[in-house]
Structure 1
Amino acid sequence: MDRCGTCQAPLFVSQRLSWDPEGVISIVGSPHNRMVFFESECIDQIFRGIEDLIGSPIEHIVIESRARETRRYIEKIYPGEEVYYERVRDETLSQKEREEAKEHIRALTQSIIDIGKVYGYGDTRMSDLWERDYPYPWRVQVTRDPYSLLFTVADNLGSVEACEGRDMWAGYQEIGENTYRIEVYEGEHPVGLKERLQRKKYGLKPGDIGYARCSECGLPLEVSRHRWDLERGVILDPGTGRRRAFFGPLSVDAIFHDLEEELGEYIPEKVIEAMRRYCRVAWAGEEWRRDADTFREMIALRGLGNLTSFRGDREHLEVLVQNPALHLPLVGAIQALVELAYRAEGSNVDWELKEDGDLGVDVRLKR
């Protein structure tokens, strides 16, 4: 994977993604499709936090919801791939023809793995079943240091479902230190989520956010300074040591929606509280300034939106974010950061996702 000669960031990132003045990370050539560059270690922690708060497991719902979104994405960008999977199983074809179809699938699988490493998804490898006379080797993968175990399982499931054109289910087992064998099986979904309504899409509001950029590849310097370990599939922030990854926010919002539909309308507050608790612990050792520019840059570089209003006093802080992404985790993160910046033990938060898509957050400190 080629790197920029100046900043050493992978050129794939600067060629595929654009940091826009609206506080959005968009996909080049598809500006309405967004990505975020977010602390990946918090993903599974949020869901574990929700489980602790509600006293009930949600892993099965998270995996099925995420897999559904992955399946739709793969079907869209790789249309017609199922024909190759059918050819592998077609005994009317010659052995050579079936092997050619299998090699096509292998190349496609490796391509997806390579992109995942650039995006910080961990070290995923194809299993040794490819070297044996196994009919479905693409159904098994081994991943080390996954950015999110739940999302990795779901992405494998959704990808196989898209390519084989049928519903399936997935399981995983730990086979080493932070290393997992993930296998997809034939069968019905264990949950059977209802088809969700399409979430309302809001038009982007113009912004004026500017970034200091690499003179060669154009990435924001605050992004290009991160360390990409492409062999391990890990992106690290050298200042904090925290891990980051690129992923689509809409599929995460869909999970929260599905959890709310399945479990009840209290889920949004549990998402916010789980994120607040995680940030309070994970970010406690850092100095957080109270100025608007710090908050604005932090939100925009992650592709979470454009902070346009920031006002408050010693007792509360009120902010407005235009073009927000991951609005529920964002509320929890803002609440935690206000508590850390003001050295407060706790707070109450009110928030609203307005008709025009703006996110208003009001944090009132407890003294």
Structure 2
Amino acid sequence: MSQVSSTSNASVLGALFMLGAGVTFAVINVVTPIVTWQMGVPSTAVVFWQYVIATVFALPLILRIGFGALKTRHPVAHEARAFLSALGVQFFAFGFASGVPVWQMVTLSMTGPFFILAGATLFLGEKLTAQRLGATVVGFVGALLVSQIGSEQFTWASILPVLAAACWGTVSVITKYLTRDEAPESLTLYMLVLITPNHLLIGLILGIAVAVLPAGTLPPSLATGFDFELPGGDALWLIVLLGVVTAGAQYFFSLAYKVADATYLQPFDDLKLPLNILAGWLVLGQIPGVLFWPGAALILGASIYIMRQDRGRLPTRAPVLESA
């Protein structure tokens, strides 16, 4: 009886922790467009300082894991994983800075399982079944509906959350590869330690691109390069809030995956969609268009199907802090 009760309590705690992560991401996803789109702070700078602050607040978690977990035979894979995770966050924040609404950003970012499926098939030798291929096609149709491609509401920035999803999907594929002989603690620690330096690296690459490329090549919001200076006033406090909440999301993920497995937690992770739609409506006044609802249903249904088909091959703990 006590074992059953313990399992039940762990399941409830896992669901609550995952719900907490969803709430923190909803906060991030309404504060980011306020700082970038409304206040005009460059998204690259916002994300860099956000993760600097998050890393400071995550130090207790880093110290609890211990730097001994950094011992690895795959340093290049860990760096690629951290770089792609940071790049996905940069794409995502730039989408907000470009005026893409929260409901569209979050829904299109949920195309990640389709990229995981493609990567696992191409690079990990997993079998591509007709059912999985069909689910991918359904999800792709849903993404077309949500992006409103072909209508006047569609802009080039609408593909940014899809690029973020592609980055995060590739991160998951690398994670699958590493879990063959790497401990979850190692995966978590490398991400916590490397993600902020990689945001700095992306900023430096952007600065070089601005200096080398002809004027007008980059979008106006990126043409100024990377500004390392922290903004003042309300923008500063909102960036501090972003950093604290980002660290909180990592703690929620860590706790959730410590008490429950990834397959069980996935449906609770999908609650981020209604949470973000509600937050975007209440705080920013953003209301989804008519095509959003069938498109979101197709993406959500297809991604849940693929994740359930992936049962047993998912990492048992959350090794990466993403956005969305």
Between 1 and 2, higher relative CO (CA 8 Å, sep ≥ 6) is seen in 2
**TM-score (norm. length: structure 2):** 0.27
Higher helix share: 2
| Higher Cα Rg, which structure | 1
**TM-score (norm. length: structure 1):** 0.25
Higher strand share: 1
